[in-house]
């Protein structure tokens, strides 16, 4: 029986993870669940999964949880980043699912790495802002890191477990192109948050949905892949594949390509990582190859998707530039979702912050977190000016 912590339990990845756990009560039990704004949903999850610990962001949220909790189940309630980090390191936790959105998940993921846990990582911003430091902690403390992001999970499934880089030429990361793939570039100025959050294939949280629409999601994933698989920028190619059936590919020096295919349902990569190296069943629909009419592939147009170019540039520049990329994007996406800026201003904001902010050398997670806050403040000022 494995004891599982789900950080970001109230989100889309949280839903899929808990659905699998509910199907396998003989294999998994929930040790802890975290929420941020959806305290009422956390109360419902508490009744269903009986966690020993819940984590909420503030003292007020703790009081709200106590007030709403009519379940007869009384978990220990922890608060804030300290509560998350303490839980990540608890002896009772075997598997830590990192599914908080944004750099807000960095400290707890890092705490899990330092505690040598099995980490199932959806929260790609951890590797974007602090890839080298996080991977060093994983290695130094004997943690096991398994990618949940569908593309990285696909690549992980295609690479040999021994000597994964031997004979590898490159990886090919597939991208849907998002909801605006066929819009004219001029029309992008007027798209709404509702349109941007309607991903053609996947059902996901709002922030990652906007990232998919700008294709910064693919840029973040390129940086994520660099750190996960220890690759050079030249070994990472992005190809648009609108059907999101091939989740990514690896190409070897003899010209062979291996791909992982499946429905666009996160229960597939999550179940793979939860059970690794075994495989388990879950509730996603079965895949019917004969129902596919065609699979298309095309190179991304960087004029339509400037965020993808910016991510490649930041990756080549280093860890500080990647923190600027990520933090300015988080603020800009929130600004877009709040109706403060236009869709096209997301890329303009990131580009402007990358050119204005001199990235320092960042040699600890604390330094990354301080710099991340500085970039956020500067981006807020820029958007307000």
Ligand X SMILES: NC(=O)C1=CN([C@@H]2O[C@H](COP(=O)(O)OP(=O)(O)OC[C@H]3O[C@@H](n4cnc5c(N)ncnc54)[C@H](OP(=O)(O)O)[C@@H]3O)[C@@H](O)[C@H]2O)C=CC1
Q: Which parts of this chain interact with ligand DXP (CB under 6 A)? A: 149-151, 175-176, 178, 202, 212, 217-218, 266
The reply on whether position 274 binds ligand X by CB under 6 A is no
- The contacts of residue 45 (CB under 8 Å, 6+ apart) are 9, 10, 18, 33, 51
Of these partners, ligand DXP, ligand X, Mn ion, none, which one is at the site of residue 35 (CB under 5 to 8 Å by kind)? Answer: ligand X
Window 107-126: contact mask with ligand X (x via CB under 6 A): ---------------xxxx-
Count of residues interacting with ligand X (CB under 6 A) = 27
- Using a 10 angstrom Cβ sphere, with 0-12 exposed, 13-18 middle and 19 or more buried, the burial of residue 361 is exposed
Token pair 């004969």: residue: 290
Window 110-139: contact mask with Mn ion (x via CB under 5 A): ------------------------------
Tell me how far, at minimum, the Cβ of 193 lies from ligand DXP, in Å. Answer: 16
The reply on whether position 147 binds ligand X by CB under 6 A is no
Residue with smaller CB distance to ligand X, 117 or 267: 267
Sheet with 76-79, side-by-side order of all strands? 76-79, 53-56, 28-34, 2-7, 95-98, 118-121, 144-147
DSSP-assigned letter for residue 238: E
Of these partners, ligand DXP, ligand X, Mn ion, none, which one is at the site of residue 212 (CB under 5 to 8 Å by kind)? Answer: ligand DXP
Handedness of CA 198, 203, 205, 207 (dihedral sign): negative
Figure out which of the listed residues 4, 5, 8, 29 binds ligand X, where binding follows CB under 6 A: 8
- Is-contact 320 362, C-beta < 8 A? yes
DSSP-assigned letter for residue 361: P
Residue with smaller CB distance to ligand X, 37 or 192: 37
Figure out which of the listed residues 32, 208, 225, 322 binds ligand X, where binding follows CB under 6 A: 208
Name beta bridge partners: 261. Answer: 246
Token pair 């339990």: residue: 9
Handedness of CA 232, 235, 241, 243 (dihedral sign): negative
The reply on whether position 211 binds Mn ion by CB under 5 A is no
Residue with smaller CB distance to Mn ion, 199 or 378: 199
């Amino acid at each position: 029986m494995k004891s599982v912590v789900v950080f970001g339990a109230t989100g889309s990845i949280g839903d899929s993870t808990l659905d699998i756990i509910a199907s396998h009560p003989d294999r998994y039990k929930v040790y802890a669940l975290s929420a941020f704004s959806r305290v009422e949903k956390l109360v419902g999850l508490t009744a269903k999964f009986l966690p020993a610990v819940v984590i909420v962001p503030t003292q007020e949220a703790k009081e709200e949880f106590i007030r709403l909790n009519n379940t007869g189940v009384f978990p220990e309630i922890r608060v804030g980043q300290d509560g998350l980090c303490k839980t990540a390191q608890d002896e009772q936790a075997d598997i830590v699912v990192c599914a908080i959105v944004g750099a807000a998940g960095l400290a707890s993921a890092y705490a899990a790495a330092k505690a040598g846990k099995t980490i199932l990582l959806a929260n790609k911003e951890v590797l974007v802002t602090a890839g080298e430091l996080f991977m060093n902690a994983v290695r130094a403390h004997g943690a096991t890191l398994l990618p949940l992001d569908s593309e990285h999970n696909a690549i992980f499934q295609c690479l040999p477990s021994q000597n994964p880089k031997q004979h590898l030429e490159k990886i090919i990361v597939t991208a849907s192109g998002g909801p605006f793939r066929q819009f004219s570039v001029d029309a992008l100025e007027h798209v709404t948050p509702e349109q941007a959050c309607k991903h053609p294939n996947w059902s996901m949280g709002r922030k990652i949905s906007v990232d998919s629409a700008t294709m910064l999601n693919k840029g973040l994933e390129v940086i994520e892949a660099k750190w996960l698989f220890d690759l050079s920028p030249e070994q990472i190619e992005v190809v648009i594949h609108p059907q999101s059936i091939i989740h990514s590919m690896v190409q070897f020096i003899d010209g062979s390509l291996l791909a992982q295919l499946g429905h666009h349902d996160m229960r597939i990569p999550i179940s793979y990582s939860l059970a690794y190296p075994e495989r388990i069943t879950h509730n996603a629909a079965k895949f019917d190859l004969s129902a596919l009419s065609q699979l298309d592939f095309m190179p991304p147009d960087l004029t339509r998707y400037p965020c993808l170019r910016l991510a490649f540039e930041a990756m080549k520049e280093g860890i500080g530039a990647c923190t600027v990329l990520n933090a300015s994007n988080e603020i800009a996406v929130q600004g877009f979702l709040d109706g403060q800026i236009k869709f096209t201003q997301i890329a303009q904001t990131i580009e402007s912050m990358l050119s204005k902010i001199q990235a320092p050398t960042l040699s600890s997670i604390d330094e990354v977190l301080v710099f991340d806050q500085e970039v956020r403040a500067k981006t807020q000022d820029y958007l307000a000016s």
